[in-house]
Amino acid sequence: MSELAARLQQCQRRLARAALAAGRNESEITLLAVSKTKPVDAIRAAVCAGQRRFGESYVQEAVEKIAQLNDATLEWHFIGPIQSNKTRAIAEHFTWVQSIDRLKIAERLSAQRPAHLTPLQICIQVNISDEPQKGGIAAADLLPFAAAVSRLPGLHLRGLMAIPAAGGDMDAQRAPFAALRTLFEQLRLHHPQVDTLSMGMSDDLEAAVAEGSTLVRVGSAIFGSRA
């Protein structure tokens, strides 16, 4: 077993333990391998170890990797900030976009999604800790923003994503995840189809799973901390 495969397996066991501790079925939680800045060979090793879903934040780098791997069975998620001049490439190459926080960007993705492809699966990014340096909409703006996004053709609203401020102990980590879960439940009252709560990374996935995460975004615990 390769070192990366061993780390992936260890991460999967960690996720299973977190689910058990939360009284949840681990099958309810998707593991997204965050492969931004990682070489194609590392992604290929993860694929060989059974990983199929990958998250990227840099458009040009991601498009090159997608082309090199040339594997239609892989699911690519865009999870980084989105510039207007990058929307076409995202619309053409990704299955999911988790970092929607501006209507202009959502409208461009909608217009540029090729007709022969399935709709882009969309998560709205919420700035759950109100950090000025981070992307995401304010919690108070969620419902009108979601209503506008949900009306766009070529997009399918699936849920919420957040990157909370780094917390200390388990209780501190759980607080913003609990706040996001509350917003998610409010969103479902208006949009019953939403089913994705993307929260939790390498350092806080246990807290996220305890608060109902359905998708965790894990990079360093799988690929290591070096680029």
Q: Which residues of 13-40 are buried (b: 16+ CB within 10 A; e: fewer)?
A: ebbeebbeebebebeebbbbbbbbebee
Low-confidence stretches of the chain (pLDDT beneath 50): 227
The answer to whether 79 touches 98, Cβ cutoff 8 Å, is yes
pLDDT of residue 225: 79
pLDDT of residue 1: 78
pLDDT, one tens digit per residue, over 59-89 is 999 999 999 999 999 999 999 999 999 999 9
pLDDT of residue 227: 47
Q: What is the CATH number of domain 3-223?
A: 3.20.20.10
pLDDT of residue 167: 77
Tokens representing 181?
Answer: 């879960």
Q: Give dist(CA 50, CA 5) in Å, integer.
A: 9
DSSP code per residue over 150-216: HTSTTEEEEEEE--PPP-SSHHHHHHHHHHHHHHHHHHHHH-TT--EEE---TTTHHHHHHTT-SEE
What's the pTM? 0.97
